[in-house]
Amino acid sequence: GFCPVRVPSPERFAIHKLIVSQLRVSRDAKVEKDLFQASTLIAILQDTFPGALGEAVAAIPLSASTKLLNGLKRAQDTFLGAYPEVVEEISQAIKARKDRD
């Protein structure tokens, strides 16, 4: 037998994890886990599906942009140092999103 399950697209899940990491209060271990999971997915997506992260950012609510930028900064400082192009892609997508709305 089987059971149908909804699985988020990996690029949207990675963006979600960056945002959620900034919503957690005084749960450092969970924040680090969120950032690690997001960074792992982001690195794989950048190598496999360039541009997918920018598309995922375009789908987030504008009100989540600040949290996303803060999460991205922390992930960059901790895990994404070898992927500056990802940080640039996400930052540009956020800027385009703000300019559009």
pLDDT tens, residue by residue, 21-45: 999 877 789 999 999 999 999 999 9
Tokens representing residue 70 in the block: 């803060």
Give tens-digit pLDDT for 76-89: 999 998 989 988 99
Q: 47: which residues sit within 8 A by CB, 6+ positions away?
A: none
Give residue-wise pLDDT tens across range 45-63.
988 998 899 999 999 999 9
Residue 46 CA to residue 85 CA, distance in Å, equals: 9
Q: Which residues contact 57 (CB under 8 A, 6 or more apart)?
A: 15, 68, 90, 93, 94, 97
